[in-house]
């Protein structure tokens, strides 16, 4: 099993340079930001039941790239900002659709595998489906917190800001969320 | 069940960071690792708008337009919506209107509010969007003060005969005198003098000026030529500039940026 992914990994330690380029409107910097963060953002949106995760992710990054000139902060703050936009976009979509998160099968939404990547894609699909089935058992607030912490790599305080909650409330939600997942996992073995 | 019973915040933080944990928490650690792995896939396909940004970037001027960090997320959302609808942001137009209203005095604001409220009700009544009873009341009120007649529900007026009906007053059937009579007014009401519209007293502005605080500075006679207003930048100079511009300035004054879509 590979080691934990740190914030620096996404930009190979070059976040400051990438941010500066993006704030100048450089296409190469935009591409770096999109490449680094779009998979995690799309994964977040997919786990949250977004109807069209790829399209919604595009909307998020259009907003990010058009407004990056006004961002001030470090990589962690940038990540928090991006996920705040993603979460709000998600809420907007839910309001527009007037319904709860989609629990439809992921088959309609999975990426098409490259010809030489069928096996890897299929394995990733199975893992995604497994995670999705567990997350669907959580309350919406618990799911928000766990996904933002695990996938978004946001701190407790950043999650609190994104969700409009207090830090103690976020801690309580993540505690209850992990315990709920634990109860779901206890009667079965985890196979990787 | 060790997976859930003994987990605390420290264990959770270790799981989130991907650090080694007790065997009892291994299933949760595996779950956390699978969630993190969701972010390791390929980048999704980009929309056409996003693809254009990724290919071409943004112009330096647009890129350097700074936005306050505190509300960047809000502005980002508004900007995308505005760009999607391809129209100038409502905030600009609203700001102009708000500024004008803010400049009014208290009495004017109250009057404006009452007028807008009445217009809103009357408009809604004319459009027939109020409840039926309110519709009838508003329609009746509007018909009393204006010559407009509404098509009442249930009538079968044929659009082909529009304009063919002439009032009895106009034909002379009502009073034996053809032609529509003018409104009758009291002899001592303002504006009853021939050639005067209601509200005019026959006095000139110069006459009324003596009733104002400027009475001490009123000229003896009206100048032979009317002074012409000048450009805004000449305001307060005491001069009478030559002409009033009838078009917007061709250049934007310093300090104002170009309005974009966002």
HEC per residue, B148-172: CCCCCCCCCCCHHHCCCCCCHHHHC
Cross-chain Cβ contact B68/A70 below 8 Å:
yes
For the residues A132-161, what does the mean pLDDT come to? Answer: 95
pLDDT at B90: 53
For the residues A127-143, what does the mean pLDDT come to? Answer: 93
Residue of A162, A46, A73, A100 lying closest to B69 (CA atoms) = A73
- Spatial distance between the Cα atoms of B260 and B70, rounded to a whole number of angstroms: 20
pLDDT at A117: 72
Kindly indicate the confidence band of residue A187, based on its pLDDT and cuts at 50, 70 and 90. low
Cross-chain Cβ contact A70/B66 below 8 Å:
yes
Which of the pair, A155 or B174, is modelled with greater confidence?
Answer: A155
Shortest distance, CA B97 to any CA of chain A (angstroms): 27
Ranges of chain B whose pLDDT falls below 70: 1-6, 60-262
Interface mutation target, options A5, A178, A183, A188, chain B, most CBs of B under 10 Å: A178
pLDDT at A127: 85
Q: How far is CA B38 from CA A46, A88, A138, B21, in A?
A: 9, 20, 18, 21
Q: E strand or H helix at B217, and its extent?
A: none
Sort out which chain A residues have CB atoms less than 8 A from B69's CB and list them.
70-73
Interface mutation target, options B1, B6, B72, chain A, most CBs of A under 10 Å: B72
Sort out which chain A residues have CB atoms less than 8 A from B67's CB and list them.
67, 69-70
Kindly indicate the confidence band of residue A167, based on its pLDDT and cuts at 50, 70 and 90. very high
pLDDT at A29 over 70: yes
For the residues A75-81, what does the mean pLDDT come to? Answer: 94
What is the per-residue pLDDT across B145-156, written as a single tens digit (0 to 9) for each? Answer: 444 444 444 444
For the residues A158-172, what does the mean pLDDT come to? Answer: 96
pLDDT at B193: 52
pLDDT at A40 over 70: yes
A131 vs B28, B34, B67: nearest CB:
B34
- Spatial distance between the Cα atoms of A66 and A63, rounded to a whole number of angstroms: 5
pLDDT at A142 over 90: yes
For the residues A131-151, what does the mean pLDDT come to? Answer: 95
Q: What angle do CA A47, A11, A6 make, to 5 degrees?
A: 65
């Amino acid at each position: 099993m590979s080691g934990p992914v740190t914030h620096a990994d996404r930009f190979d330690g070059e976040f400051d340079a990438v941010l500066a380029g993006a704030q100048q409107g450089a296409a190469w910097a935009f591409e770096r930001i999109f490449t680094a963060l779009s998979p995690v953002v799309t994964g977040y949106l997919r786990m949250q039941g977004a109807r069209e995760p790829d399209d919604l992710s595009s909307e998020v990054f259009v907003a990010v790239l058009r407004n990056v000139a006004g961002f001030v902060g470090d990589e962690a703050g940038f990540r928090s900002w991006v996920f705040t936009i993603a979460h709000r976009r998600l809420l907007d979509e839910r309001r527009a659709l007037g319904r709860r998160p989609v629990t439809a099968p992921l088959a309609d939404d999975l990426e098409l595998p490259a010809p030489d990547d069928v096996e890897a894609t299929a394995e990733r699909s199975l893992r995604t489906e497994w995670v999705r089935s567990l997350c669907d058992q959580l309350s919406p607030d618990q799911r928000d917190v766990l996904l933002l912490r695990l996938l978004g790599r946001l701190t407790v305080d950043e999650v609190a800001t994104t969700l409009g909650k207090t830090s103690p409330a976020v801690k309580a939600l993540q505690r209850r969320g992990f315990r709920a997942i634990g109860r779901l996992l206890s009667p079965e073995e985890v196979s990787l | 069940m060790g997976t859930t019973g003994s987990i605390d915040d420290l264990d959770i933080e270790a799981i989130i960071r991907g650090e080694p944990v007790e065997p009892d928490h291994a299933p949760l650690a595996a779950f956390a690792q699978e969630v993190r792995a969701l972010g390791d896939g390929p980048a999704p396909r980009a929309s056409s708008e996003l693809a254009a940004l990724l290919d071409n970037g943004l112009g330096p001027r647009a890129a350097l337009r700074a936005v306050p960090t505190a509300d960047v997320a809000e502005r980002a959302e508004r900007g995308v919506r505005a760009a999607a609808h391809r129209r100038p942001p409502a905030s600009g137009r609203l700001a102009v209107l708000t500024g004008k209203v803010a400049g009014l005095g208290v009495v004017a604001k109250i009057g404006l509010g009452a007028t807008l409220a009445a217009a809103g009700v009357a408009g809604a009544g004319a459009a027939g969007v109020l409840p039926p009873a309110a519709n009838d009341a508003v329609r009746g009120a509007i018909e009393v003060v204006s010559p407009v007649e509404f098509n009442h529900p249930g009538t079968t007026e044929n659009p082909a005969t529009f304009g063919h009906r002439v009032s009895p007053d106009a034909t002379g059937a009502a009073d034996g005198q053809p032609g529509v009579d003018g409104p009758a007014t009291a002899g001592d009401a303002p504006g009853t003098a021939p050639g005067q519209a209601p509200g005019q007293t026959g006095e000139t502005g110069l006459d009324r000026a003596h009733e104002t605080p400027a009475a001490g500075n009123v000229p003896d006679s009206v100048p032979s030529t009317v002074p012409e207003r000048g450009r805004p930048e000449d305001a307060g100079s005491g001069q009478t500039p030559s002409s009033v511009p009838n078009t917007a300035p061709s250049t934007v004054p310093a300090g104002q940026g170009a309005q974009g879509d966002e």
